[in-house]
A and B are shown apart, each in its own frame.
Chain A
Amino acid sequence: DAKTTQPNSMESNEEEPVHLPCNHSTISGTDYIHWYRQLPSQGPEYVIHGLTSNVNNRMASLAIAEDRKSSTLILHRATLRDAAVYYCILRPSNDYKLSFGAGTTVTVRA
């Protein structure tokens, strides 16, 4: 499984943007970059995914480096509800499973 590297934890203030980095230097051309999050005592929740171009949705933005060896998940205005573990996952286009790492624990201060 292609590996990703994320910081163990990050802190943010409420209503400020959060930039979550992910390194994936061994990414291959068919690997999609997926982001999921897991709030306390809940199942993982899809956030966003992309292949080569930057992506935006109602939850977040995904900025993908030109060489695709790194990406950044951007939460535009953090709320207390965004406190969760965020997982950056590489998923080949022909693979069904998600291979979760340790993720980044995001803490949001009121």
Chain B
Amino acid sequence: DTAVSQTPKYLVTQMGNDKSIKCEQNLGHDTMYWYKQDSKKFLKIMFSYNNKELIINETVPNRFSPKSPDKAHLNLHINSLELGDSAVYFCASSQAGGAYEQYFGPGTRLTVT
């Protein structure tokens, strides 16, 4: 029973397209996150939602918009995709606060051509 799942696992698309990545967690956590891992393997936080409210919004282009329909889901929609958006995107979840561990999904590898 997968704790944090993401779909799709791979996404290949052309520049200018709009795409979405979905994330679901069955751990009962209140907080969910999106991280981006670029080609140099650096992992960086993008967004975080706590109880469906946006609490972290790092310096991310407006083309990226997270949406949390409920506490168990956090989707990432990307408009007008660019070559530089190619990366692996990881979803994670945790209980609220720095004392708790985060559980990560398997990642979505996005390739923009």
Do A and B make up one complex?
Answer: yes
Residues of chain A having any CB pair with chain B under 8 Å: 30-32, 34, 36, 38, 42-46, 49, 51, 85, 87, 91-100, 102
User: Which residues from chain A contact B44 at a C-beta distance below 8 Å?
Assistant: 100
Separation of A10 and B50 alpha carbons in the complex (Å):
37
Task: Decide yes or no whether B107 CB sits under 8 A from chain A.
Answer: yes
Q: Write the nearest CB–CB distance from A37 to chain B, whole angstroms.
A: 11
- Contact (A94, B102) CB under 8 Å given A99-B45, A100-B42: no
Q: Write the nearest CB–CB distance from B74 to chain A, whole angstroms.
A: 13
B43 pairs with A97, CB closer than 8 A = no
Interface residues on B, range: 20 to 34
B98 pairs with A92, CB closer than 8 A = yes
User: Which residues from chain A contact B43 at a C-beta distance below 8 Å?
Assistant: 38, 44, 87, 98, 100
- Contact (A45, B104) CB under 8 Å given A97-B33, A97-B56: yes
- Contact (A43, B107) CB under 8 Å given A96-B96, A98-B45, A100-B44: yes
User: Which residues from chain A contact B4 at a C-beta distance below 8 Å?
Assistant: 43
- The residue that B103 contacts in the complex, of A31, A46, A49, A102, with Cβ under 8 A, is A46
Separation of A45 and B105 alpha carbons in the complex (Å):
9
- Contact (A93, B102) CB under 8 Å given A43-B107, A99-B45, A102-B42: no
User: Which residues from chain A contact B99 at a C-beta distance below 8 Å?
Assistant: 32, 49, 51, 93
User: Which residues from chain B contact A102 at a C-beta distance below 8 Å?
Assistant: 42
Task: Decide yes or no whether B70 CB sits under 8 A from chain A.
Answer: no
Q: Write the nearest CB–CB distance from B99 to chain A, whole angstroms.
A: 6
B56 pairs with A96, CB closer than 8 A = yes
> By CB atoms of chain B within 10 A, which of A38, A43, A92, A100 has the most?
A43
Sampled A-B contacts (16; CB under 8 Å): A34-B101, A36-B102, A42-B106, A42-B107, A43-B4, A43-B104, A44-B43, A44-B102, A46-B102, A87-B43, A93-B98, A96-B31, A96-B94, A96-B98, A97-B58, A99-B45
